Structure 1
Amino acid sequence: MTTLRPYQMAYAEEFAKYRNNPNISQNGFDRTPNPYKIEDANELFQKQIGKTPAERFLIFQDNQLCGEIGIWLNEDIYRLNAELGYFIAEPFWGKGIATEAIRLMTEYTFANFNIIRIIAGVFEHNKASMKALEKNQYILESIHKKAVIKNDAIIDDYIWVKLKDGIA
């Protein structure tokens, strides 16, 4: 069973190990430390512990840490929007965990924040992530052609969107 749980320092070392994987970092922002060290995890966890309402969670599958998911709240004219980001540790790929974590985080976000729209950007090569979003009724809104440079390659950024129920 997939669950979302608050950050606990006891998981920082394991989190850092999973996060410090080139197959994970190739799908994320360059601002994420690389290599990802225990100090980076400790800093992240300390920022998240006690935040209410929480904007990020650890993902567990059958009581085993297997990833992270969260939102970034937008501001100004985009204040009713949140951006979704997540990763699943490589040993857990292909088990439907991302699909379930996205469902849980989407429900939580709409219930706990004044948000009507959740956006998720996915690099062109990450077809599994696109499939997980699609299974959660996220709609491909646009493809930002050649909008991202990652690992010296210029690639497309697929923008997926889910609107809160009742918003047309």
Structure 2
Amino acid sequence: MTASGDITIRPLAKEDARQIAGLLNNKNIWNNLRDYIPSPYSKKDALEFINGISEQDPRVTFAITYKNETCGVIGLIQQTDIYRLSAEIGYWVGEPYWGKGIATSALKLATDYGFEKLSLERIFAGTFSHNAASRRVLEKCGYKKEGVARSAVLKNNQILDEHKYAILKSDWIN
């Protein structure tokens, strides 16, 4: 478990399933996530997700908690082959927890974990063109915009640009 004030990232547990399902069964969240995440999102979906990541070694997917309440998920997807020192980071925070700095704190914790525990050299993220809030979170954490992939994604039957961000271990100041 890693903490910063009231915010922690910790391994997900079966007990998180109800809360995750309740928060993730929300179009405002789902509109910013990849389509492999079902919508509507059920407790069964949450349990399958938690069971599917329970054997991660090293652990790369975490619950985000605020004042000991599960409020989101953050994870690193380690790359392979010549990209093996890089990881894509993704995160979401439930709508009732927006505007509290939770995503920023969680991203700092997970970025630190990626560089310190996983020995990564680069962590990157992509955001859909309409997700300015996520871009602000990345920028607050020192991620630099590397470009915009024009018409790169299809979400909700709309073709969108994807804004690409990254941070290097050598630039990471915790």
TM-score scaled by structure 2? 0.92
C-alpha root-mean-square deviation of aligned residues, in Å?
1.3
Gaps of 5+ in 1: none
What corresponds to 2:53 in structure 1?
48
What corresponds to 2:75 in structure 1?
70
1:61 pairs, out of 66, 75, 91, with 66
2:96 pairs, out of 56, 68, 91, with 91
* C-alpha distance in structure 2 between counterparts of 1:115 and 1:95, whole Å: 28
* C-alpha distance in structure 2 between counterparts of 1:166 and 1:29, whole Å: 28
The offset of 1:166, in angstroms, is 6.5
> For each residue in 1:69-112, what CA deviation from the matched residue of structure 2 results, as whole angstroms up to 9, or x when unmatched?
00101111211110000000000111111000000000001111
Are 1:159 and 2:164 matched, yes or no?
yes
1:141 pairs, out of 135, 146, 152, with 146
What corresponds to 1:130 in structure 2?
135
> For each residue in 1:17-73, what CA deviation from the matched residue of structure 2 results, as whole angstroms up to 9, or x when unmatched?
111110111001111111111111111111222433210100001111110000101
The offset of 1:11, in angstroms, is 1.2
* C-alpha distance in structure 1 between counterparts of 2:97 and 2:38, whole Å: 22
2:126 pairs, out of 121, 141, 155, with 121
The offset of 1:13, in angstroms, is 1.1
TM-score scaled by structure 1? 0.95
What corresponds to 2:22 in structure 1?
17
The offset of 1:160, in angstroms, is 0.5
What corresponds to 1:150 in structure 2?
155
Are 1:5 and 2:26 matched, yes or no?
no
The offset of 1:119, in angstroms, is 0.6
Amino acid of the structure 1 residue aligned with 2:153: V
Gaps of 5+ in 2: 1-5
Residue aligned with 2:170, SS = coil
Residue aligned with 1:44, SS = helix
- How many residues matched? 167
* C-alpha distance in structure 2 between counterparts of 1:166 and 1:55, whole Å: 21
The offset of 1:165, in angstroms, is 2.0
